Structure 1
Amino acid sequence: MAYLAQTQSGQPILILKEGTSRSRGREAQRNNIMAARVIAEAIRSTLGPRGMDKMLVDSLGDITITNDGAAILDEIDVEHPAAKMMVEVAKTQDDMVGDGTTTSVVLAGELLKKAEELLDQNIHPTIIVSGYRKAAKKAMEVLEKIGVTVDLDDKETLKKVAITSMGSKAVGTAREHLAEIAIDAVKQIAEKRGDRWVADVDNVQIIKKEGKSLHDTELVRGVILDKEVVHSGMPKRVENAKIALLNCPLEVEKTEFDAKINIESPEEMEAFLKEEE
């Protein structure tokens, strides 16, 4: 459907392109809420300690098994604008906190569900939004009261936090081992800014290697250059080495030869073959 306007002379003006649909009022509200709630329902079953994993198959046939909300939504091809906003909620939560993506999306879906019930009672959307903002402010006040300050040396409490965060990761029996590594890694990069400890997780590099189990994961307190040796005869281990830092590429380049051989007679061909032997 195309939407037209007319000039004073009756000349039609095309406003929206062919195939464009338009909704307004209560219908638009219902459509947007429904689209957002569909996203929340898609990952609801992955929430909590009894959450189920989902198998994702992309267009190339690659299979991913996960119950991580951000990973699931990242693989879903979403077109509806309201649904895309729910996906952005998960991405923002993952970028800022690194956990709680499923919880944030499911909670947003429930808030929209309750908002729809209020809309059915003819309560104006601005009043609903104002109420939700007051509730969010109150929730933050309660969190400040019940929050517990954890010392950086309280490894047992930090370990519990790390294990809880790994609930959505397929790490199996290696959960405690990886939790201890995560704590040690964060303590290595943590720095105090004012009265708070801040850790930039971008300073932790994770390198994957095939051939061993998750229990063989180890923390290297240093820098890893994930490169193969240039020549098989080079040593695999060097202790007390001197390290040169170069601000330029250091690669072994193969020399290319552009040669041409002109052979004009059988005798020259025979001589060339003998030389090759």
Structure 2
Amino acid sequence: MHSPVLVLKDSLTRESGSKVHRANIQASKAVADIIRTTLGPRSMLKMLLDAAGGIVVTNDGNAILRELDLAHPAAKSMIELSRTQDEEVGDGTTSVIILAGEMLHVAEAFINKSYHPTVICRAYTKALEDAVAVLDQIAMSIDVNDRAAMLGLVKSCVGTKFTSQFGDLIADLAIEATTIVGVDLGQGLREVDIKKYIKVEKVPGGQLEDSKVLKGVMFNKDVVAPGKMRRKIVNPRIILLDCPLEYKKGENQTNAELVKEEDWGVLLKLEEEYIENLCMQILQFKPDLVITEKGLSDLACHYLSKAGVSAIRRLRKTDNNRIAKACGAVVVNRPDELQESDVGTGAGLFEVRKIGDEFFAFIVECKDPKACTVLLRGASKDLLNEVERNLQDALSVARNIIKNPRLVPGGGAAEFTVSAVLKQKSSSIEGIEKWPYEAAAIAFEAIPRTLAQNCGVNVIRTMTALQGKHANGENPWIGIDGNTGAITDMKERKIWDAYNVKAQTFKTAIEAACMILRIDDIVSGIKKKQASGAGQAPSKPKIEEEGDADNEQMLPE
């Protein structure tokens, strides 16, 4: 008998061809329309209700899209775009969605004229190569050590955010923090790990102006025995451990049989000796502060406090690594492996302070810290969350510039220049790809157009004036001032974008648009609901086995 073949009935719904293309383009445009009003300094805020009933008020493209709950697969892949952009370069999350949406929008006309998607994608890929080449030409270098230029740059990138009303504050914090954690790799290369070595601590209360970058680390812990241990030590010697300072308990179901009364005393003595031994190994290095990621028993606490040593227990691993980077200590796994070189002596001050109701430990005034903490103060949790989101973007911008110190004009000037150059090039392209290439060139204008819309100026007049300025290719730095909507020179206004953010935006948007255009089938394994049973759950598929009619299985409806 031949092997049974499973046949799924009624279960596959399938859409294909241009119908799918149109549906995908519509879905992507809908996502782009949600985000569109949050571009630029005059952007609107969105109020989102999350699953837990909390409220988020933000204009950060990525934060908004993260909260959306969408069913359409193409719309989901658009959301994935902004997340990729955020992880890669940390900025341009709104632009990438608007640009991808526009690329798909201009492709719709060609789909309707029965162009093959491959032709459109080929033209788009060519347009992308040329666009990046144009960016290369107009990019200008910047000196990373020039604080004023860096400040202007980070400010213009974060100027679109909610916290721009606080002036230089966020940009200042970002530049200071990234400068601290930057590590020279030689040959002019620098590595800046902002996720690992910059911690943002949000403490409600106080004013936003009280926020500062600490030359060191702070964490939400107090010493183990506040009465006996010092809470302020100048130039402390710090030992960091990754092991418990308590007696090793036996594995579970360990039985110890005590026959005589004295055996109990022997057991206790063993435990005491073990802990005393541990503490003596640590104390011979004369530390002032011992920090462990694991537990610390009362007995160990007694020995340490008697020797005048402060101790902190159960610290997060990430915090411990940050302290190690800040004060030059090495995290040690066993006390008997301690060496003099593992002791951190780079910190100038250890202090426990009370902020509000909680105690925070500060290890600050470090000589050459490679990790830092940004302390944010503010009126409410919501405000602090928004400030933190903006700060993360500012940190990413500062990191991008340190890694690749080149700038392109902001305010839609870069997009307009790219668009003008591509339009000229389109006339020299042979064959059918000429039209999609030209459409892609026009699509780049979506960013300046959206900027103009959000400023509330006359869009058609502004765009026509800009096109006139860029048509003769004189000055690639003419763009829209996002605050007033006036057409100005971006160099004079100091409105910049980082080169690799722009390049990444173009690449991500066009590649995603090509991917969505190439989808010609959506096959879903869920049966559509019948009109009559609108309130019922979708029925399960029936499964039949060929060649064995008796064995027909009906899954319960």
Please indicate, yes or no, whether the TM-score normalized by the shorter chain is above 0.5.
yes
- Greater displacement, 22-31 / 240-249: 240-249
Describe the SS at the equivalent of 2:47.
Answer: strand
Runs of 4+ in 1 over 4 A off after TM superposition: 252-255
Scaled by the length of structure 1, the TM-score of the pair is: 0.80
Q: Does 1:60 align with 2:59?
A: no
Describe the SS at the equivalent of 2:203.
Answer: coil
Alignment partner for residue 169 of structure 2, among 177, 195, 198?
177
**Structure 1 residues 140 and 151: alpha-carbon distance in aligned structure 2, compared to 1, 3 A threshold:** same
The 8 Å contact of residues 152 and 187 in structure 1, kept in 2 or not, is answered as no
Cα distance, 1:68 vs structure 2: 0.3
Q: Which residue identity is paired with 1:15?
A: L
Q: Does 1:197 align with 2:190?
A: yes
Cα distance, 1:235 vs structure 2: 4.1
What is residue 119 of structure 1 aligned with on the other side?
111
Describe the SS at the equivalent of 1:219.
Answer: strand
Superposed, 1:70-109 pairs within 5 Å as 70-109=62-101
Structure 2: which 5+ residue stretches go unaligned? 245-291, 300-557
Structure 1: which 5+ residue stretches go unaligned? 1-10, 256-277
Cα distance, 1:143 vs structure 2: 0.9
Distance 1:89 1:150 in 2: 29
What is residue 548 of structure 2 aligned with on the other side?
none
Q: Which residue identity is paired with 1:248?
A: C
Distance 2:42 2:297 in 1: 55
Which is bigger in relative contact order (C-alpha 8 A, separation at least 6)? 2
Cα distance, 1:29 vs structure 2: 0.7
What is residue 215 of structure 1 aligned with on the other side?
209
Distance 2:199 2:239 in 1: 21
What is residue 240 of structure 1 aligned with on the other side?
235
What is residue 120 of structure 2 aligned with on the other side?
128
Count of paired positions:
244
The 8 Å contact of residues 39 and 94 in structure 2, kept in 1 or not, is answered as yes
What is residue 142 of structure 2 aligned with on the other side?
150
Cα distance, 1:70 vs structure 2: 0.4
Q: Name whichever structure is richer in strand by fraction.
A: 2
Deviation track 1:137-184 (CA, whole Å, cap 9, x = no partner) reads 011111111112111111122112221232354325434022112111
Distance 2:148 2:77 in 1: 37
Describe the SS at the equivalent of 1:118.
Answer: helix
The 8 Å contact of residues 166 and 175 in structure 1, kept in 2 or not, is answered as no
Q: Which residue identity is paired with 2:194?
A: V
Q: Which residue identity is paired with 1:245?
A: L
Distance 1:191 1:17 in 2: 60
Distance 1:213 1:75 in 2: 29
Distance 1:51 1:16 in 2: 50
Scaled by the length of structure 2, the TM-score of the pair is: 0.41
Q: Does 1:186 align with 2:178?
A: yes
The 8 Å contact of residues 62 and 94 in structure 2, kept in 1 or not, is answered as yes
Q: Does 1:14 align with 2:29?
A: no
